[in-house]
Structure 1
């Protein structure tokens, strides 16, 4: 049987456990749990079955592990701990049995879809992302309240059920599980829902593609990856993933997330344009809604996730830590690679820039440095546009700055602008304007005066810097340099731009 890539990968790798023998479909375990279908295996040697409790006549998920005994201690301990907590956003655990040569856990079977599968077809809006993160945080807070850390929060253990519930599964109470790792992982869940990527360095390597990073390895924020992420939510994600900042408790984080939930029923309309009928799910939503300020509608967001769950017919219990795949994988098309990962739909795309619509803005210069502007957008960071060398970082005290002006051809929703410098240390900013004011000294002066700064100017830029795009669509951009970096041991100052990359929604 094919092993499945499951869960977060610990440094040094997870020790593989061989499986010995396979139960037959139809076999009844503990004189109660009949195995109906083998779903798959994971990298820990566990086998997942869909089954039925022949006494209560309800569907169950059965997770088997070979061997039992000491090797299954962590799995059974986690199951016993989770079984003591009844919570709407935690999967129900019914039984945990050790037979020596094998051990198994019997838990709730959840029909739905894993977050990993949801983001594979595109990131979620802020409302749905917050709704998922709040539900996970509320579940984790319940665990932490009893002194237990979950230790296994990632896109494969977060499920959206067909009844509208968000359910967290498969706790692992091992030595690596701490409240801090859980909170950090919730920040990563938010990042994943908002962007379609998973921050590997911050939250553990996982099968969802890693987030966009600059040359120094710094993770791009959700607002740099896609447009429309509220600034306060972007800041929260950054803080939760920052290892240098203290983390809040799960209870405090749940309260903070509840305060973000402000969106209306209309935003939950189906893509076809029809209204979603929430009537059948209102009571379930209200029973699990968080405490929140008057007027907030996070509960609607939780119920609205039903749209996502109904979009697929996966059984969400078919994941042990990552969604299971068929034992016989589909054949690959010629030239395809198993290592290649499809980019989530709706993710930003790199815009091919027209070199004829790029020029240098130099309002106080003699036009001698306005050549080779196309080198900054030709796709080759080794071909550069550069200024002259100056004796002072502020352009020798002669200029307010210089920059690269770009015409995108028509108005576009710019998500980010990435600037690659040959030498780090420049100060710069991204500006945008409504019209082409012309070249030459007068046109350049008007461009600098009338174009507005997007976000916060960047001081001491690295070799690779990512600017957030403006909130509104725009056609014209200006990468404006206000301070030059020192060039080696020459004692002179000059900026050299190797490449500017514009990503649009």
Structure 2
């Protein structure tokens, strides 16, 4: 493959190969490269031999799974007959590099494997499985993030068998527990039919065909983790069967802190060991160093009058705490709790503010690097998690602001009270013209006999029948009539025929003949007026020409009964005038033949109905 892909090779006219990277898979070369279009670093896997086609297909399936804990597949292709897979650049070291320096603390092992299990559960729900999980594909960055690489791709390259959904989920779950075992002990539990390539790790001791429980190799392993490993890696199909079940077994876990240095290593050691910044805590915890708080106060006191104070860095967490180190931590080899020594003298806490309780952490506190603090009391390894300088004058008195809520409520109350007074006066006013009658009724006060405005009883008009309104009839409502259905035809669109908007209209179904395709004799519209009125004409706005309509003064219960008032052919403005006006409150428009609309189809479209 070196003849095809090497330093300076440009894949797909985009990815320039730079430097080789280590790999534990045969027939695969890993390179650091640069995406020349997006100007970013990427990682290139060159597949020179083996199941190249299935591996490329597996990489394409893995690219469909999106999770921040899974290494993203950016591109897949071939170059001069050699397959390649482009993934995002991976920052941090692998779990295999971490356990070379010693096993992780149980809580950190729980957190790392828990994050990896959550990532594989996301992939499982998309139908993608890893099937080649091992410590070298679990990466931990210095900021505490976990990344899993090789999803589906590595299994295709090593030829891992693929079963049904239950078997593959169980296989990934068992591999996750094997990784947990390795994180706790530094040993890799081997199986007799194992195809997963694991190098540079000692195999776990075996007893009666099963790995020895982690608690018998390393002291301090919690009972739940020890039981989880023993049961899952035992001879029976016990333990969790999916990554989701494993997540529930491991929850809850804390923050991953193994990326933070415990002691400041030398430059030469950092250069020779890439995992130097990720090692587990030493056997004996470092002696707590008192934070140089007095030096900061002295620096404040030495400032000349009127000079600005140097800025104090913000606390790492919202809760305030003292400058004490963490209360306790666990020895990774003995499992015993080693309490830190309390400094001989501590600076006094400002009056009026009680000291906060020191917060307990899952791991040991980071020690102050050699040489003390950085001059401001804030070294990179300072163990304090809160503000170590709780000065009494840190918090300035907050200026009291005016709250207008009370004033607004008072104004609203006054307005409501005034409204109630006016409403009461209006309600009880105007009743002075009537007096209570002793018989229980009311009597009208007599008016001045000298006035001519009050007519006598003899001149009062006799009651008569209500007169028919002479105003133009107003349409109150409209309904559609379908002889075949009591629900009408397109009933929900009928109001559009009287909304005074010619751009909207009620319409019928589309038929292949003007006689409704022989399915029904006609359709109709029942127009209901607000009051009984004298009607002499009906004007229709129709989108189309042809067809026929009949007008009767009847109801939808009997649309064809009654005298035929008018009939005619439909057009854009169809005016149907009666021979004589008719006093009525309902009119039925009975369409016996469909017009042709603008598209040449047999459909009735009525955009306006006016009654005159």
User: TM-score, normalising length from structure 2?
Assistant: 0.40
Question: Which structure exhibits the higher relative contact order, with contacts defined as CA atoms closer than 8 Å and separated by 6 or more residues?
Answer: 1
User: TM-score, normalising length from structure 1?
Assistant: 0.48
Q: Which has the higher helix share?
A: 1
